[in-house]
Amino acid sequence: MSDVSSQVTEHKGETSRQGGGHDGSSFRAEQRYRAFLEFLPDPVFVSNLDSTVSYLNPAFEKVFGWTLKDLADRRIPFVPPGEVKPTRAGIEKLMAEKVLHGFETRRLTRDGRLLDIVVDGAIYYDAADRAAGQVFTLRDVTARKRAEQTNQALFRIARALYRFPRL
């Protein structure tokens, strides 16, 4: 796979091909990658090695509220203070293992909501097989976690009900 950031820099109808021209098969492959990322229902972002954003898919914009125009070449300001240390540990793991699966964390949205997120990520490489950046998917599990908490509370109530037969 060639440089992912150049493959996904099309945003809202504008195409940018960094690094020069492509032959027909490379361009078609680029279009397939782009269509795939645009279609995914989960938020995806691609960043450079310095963690600055080079691509956000529409699901990222919908869930988190930022657009590529807001964040291009910037870091995403969505790590809450209590998640800084675990996030650094996750990034270190990603850099060491080249892939990160099922990293549970919390992230802020542009409007200040706090979401429970499961992150999967990978390092991607350029044509010379050098690390070029990272690609991440972020699955919002906030509703599922809240439902689990509600179910646990109801289970505790149900277990305690036998002590109150007159209810």
Longest dimension (CA), the chain: 79
* pLDDT band for position 163 (cuts 50, 70, 90): confident
Q: How many structural domains compose the chain?
A: 1
Residue 11 has pLDDT above 50, yes or no: no
Q: What angle is formed at CA 104 by the lines to CA 95 and CA 148, rounded to 5 degrees?
A: 165
Report the chain's C-alpha Rg in angstroms. Answer: 20
Q: H/E element holding 149?
A: helix 142-160
Please give the residue range of the domain that contains residue 159.
Answer: 4-163
Residue 134, pLDDT score: 96
CATH of the domain at 21: 3.30.450.20
Here the tokens at position 30 are 């680029």
Residue 114 has pLDDT above 90, yes or no: yes
DSSP 74: S
Per residue in 27-85, pLDDT (tens digit) is 787 788 778 888 889 999 999 999 999 999 999 999 999 999 999 999 999 999 999 99
Residue 62, pLDDT score: 96
What's the whole-number mean pLDDT along residues 128-140?
95
Residue 149 has pLDDT above 90, yes or no: no
* pLDDT band for position 22 (cuts 50, 70, 90): low
Residue 5 has pLDDT above 50, yes or no: no
